[in-house]
Amino acid sequence: MPVVNRVADLHNDITAWRRDLHAHPELLFDVQRTAGTVAEKLKDFGCDEVVTGLGRTGVVGVIHGRKGSTGKTIGLRADMDALPIEEASDLPYKSTVPGKMHACGHDGHTAMLLGAARYLTETRNFAGTAVVIFQPAEEGGGGGREMVDDGLMDRFGIGEVYGMHNYPGMPLGTFGIRPGRMMAAADALTIDIEGVGAHAARPHFGIDTVLIGAQIINAIQSVVSRNIDPLKSAVVSICMFRAGNADNVIPQTVQLRGTARSLAPDVRDLLEKRLHVLVESTGAAYGAKAKLTYKRGYPVLVNHENQTEFAASVASQIAGQDKVDTSLPPMMGAEDFSYMLNARPGAFIWIGNGDSAGLHHPSYNFSDDAIPFGTSYWVRLVETALPA
Ligand SMILES: [Zn+2]
Ligand SMILES: [Zn+2]
């Protein structure tokens, strides 16, 4: 069974909503316009309950099936926030906000789930309850965690929860998923080095924090290559090196920032332990104070076995069996849908975005051609899980 006919009819509407969201990107929890638009539409569609302000600016819509709310309850989740990136495109609906853009396709995720809500309120061809979840702050703020902490699962009686994200480079009309670990834990590294500032021509009177920062960057690369089991996965990337304001001054302090990624708890513990030792002892070896702040971020995203199999079977209904890859390798990106999967069984699926620029790239754009597949996946998921 391919794309749902009624969903195909809604394609133009959903595309218009997506482009409106694209033109008005908002960051983290500051998604007032987006959340307002979502809540308004959910009310217009006739959701039985619309709750705003969950997890600060999250929105939830409750849709009962034809047979009332006695059956199971399934949660479907989209994310609403954009990124602090200047959009490099001349799309007619390009970002109207300088320095902000929808570079991760959350505009598409929100629009596709709105489309599903429209269809589900209209047809109600299921027994039980569908809960549509629109979360803020996926891009680093932990909006998913905030919504779970705010009682999302218990309050709405959610038994299973599903998420979806677009995947550039994967053909349109295809899906990808895997059981078990699918995305990494992401921890934030901040390294503060204090030495002794000096004239650049008289380095022997100072303790050079720039040199020490460089040594630390080199030293910590040995953690992945020499401490982690080669058959396991980890990444350590230093992405910021903040030092100095002049070409003839050795700065007193330097700050490095970066990220550590892992797929297993023992690897995560080892990263934290070894990074502390290397940062602090390398600093000490040069007579400086170097301090690592290791902040644990999003946990590993783990797909539950049964729900993954179910999600793959629904995707196969939409796209065809040969268009659903069920053995994608895990990736070292992170997703805060992991908090929802730690709270309830469920599965996270990739949907092909075709040949677009990569996620978080200034030329990225969500493909509107993915909409019928994504929205059909959502509605069939509900109708299959909760048969009327
Ligand atoms: Zn992203
Ligand atoms: Zn994203």
63 and 201: one domain?
A: no
Q: What CATH number is given to the structural domain containing 217?
A: 3.30.70.360
195 and 246 part of one domain: yes
Identify whether residues 330 and 199 lie together within a single domain: no
Rounded to the nearest angstrom, the distance between the alpha carbon of 67 and the centre of ligand 2 is: 35
Contact 32, 53 (CB under 8 A): no
User: Does residue 100 sit in the same domain as residue 142?
Assistant: yes
* Å from CA of 197 to ligand 1 middle: 38
Please give the Cα distance from 29 to 52 (Å, whole number): 13
**310 CA → ligand 2 middle, Å:** 23
Residues with CB under 5 A from ligand 2 (ion): 104
Distance of alpha carbon 119 from alpha carbon 4, whole angstroms: 10
Give the number of the ligand closest to the Cα of residue 77: 2
Same-domain status, 199 and 151: no
Q: Which of 26, 79, 81, 336 is catalytic?
A: 81
**pLDDT given for residue 2 in this prediction:** 80
CATH number, residue 362: 3.40.630.10
Residues 142 and 195 in one domain: no
The pLDDT value recorded for residue 377 is 98
Domain boundary (296, 325, 342) is at 296
Q: Each residue's pLDDT tens digit in the chain (388 positions)?
A: 588 899 999 999 999 999 999 999 999 999 999 999 999 999 999 999 999 999 999 999 999 998 655 679 999 999 999 999 999 999 999 999 999 999 999 999 999 999 999 999 999 999 999 999 999 999 999 999 999 999 999 999 999 999 999 999 999 999 999 999 999 999 999 999 999 999 999 999 999 999 999 999 999 999 999 999 999 999 999 999 999 999 999 999 999 999 999 999 999 999 999 999 999 999 999 999 999 999 999 999 999 999 999 999 999 999 999 999 999 999 999 999 999 999 999 999 999 999 999 999 999 999 999 999 999 999 999 999 999 8
pLDDT at 168: 98
Spacing, Cα 243 to ligand 2 middle (Å): 31
Same domain, 280 and 144: no
Inter-residue contact 27 to 83 (CB < 8 Å): yes
Domain boundary among 277, 296, 315: 296
Q: Which of 351, 350, 353 is nearest to 369 (CA)?
A: 353
The count of structural domains within the chain is 2
**Domain identity same for 11 and 133:** yes
State the Cα angle at 273 between 268 and 278, rounded to 5°: 125
The predicted model scores a pTM of: 0.94
The answer to whether 163 and 346 are in contact (CB under 8 A) is: yes
Residue count (the chain): 388
The confidence score (pLDDT) of residue 388 equals 87
Main-chain phi, psi angles of 89, to 5 degrees: -155, 165
Backbone region of residue 104 per phi and psi (left: phi > 0; alpha: psi in -120 to 50; beta: other values): alpha
End residue of a domain, out of 275, 296, 317 = 296
Q: How far does the centroid of ligand 2 lie from the alpha carbon of residue 139, in Å? A: 7
Q: How far is CA 335 from CA 122, 190, 232, 286, 324, in A?
A: 31, 21, 20, 38, 21
In this structure, which ligand is nearest to the CA of 109?
A: 2
Same structural domain, 244 and 207:
yes
Q: What distance in angstroms lies between residue 156's CA and the mean position of ligand 1's atoms? A: 27
Please pick, among 26, 107, 138, 335, the residue that the annotation labels catalytic: 138
- Residue 26 appears among annotated catalytic residues: no
Asked whether the beta carbons of 100 and 25 are under 8 A apart, the reply is: yes
- The whole domain housing 255 covers 185-296
Asked if residue 191 and residue 168 are part of one domain, the reply reads no
Q: What is the 281 CA–ligand 1 centroid distance (Å)?
A: 35
**Rounded-to-integer distance, Cα 279 and Cα 290, Å:** 6
The whole-number pLDDT of residue 71 equals 79
Is residue 213 located within the same domain as residue 341?
no
217 plus 146 within the same structural domain:
no
Asked if residue 328 lies in contact with residue 177, where contact means CB atoms within 8 angstroms, the answer is yes
Query: How many Å lie between the centroid of ligand 1 and the Cα of residue 284?
Result: 37
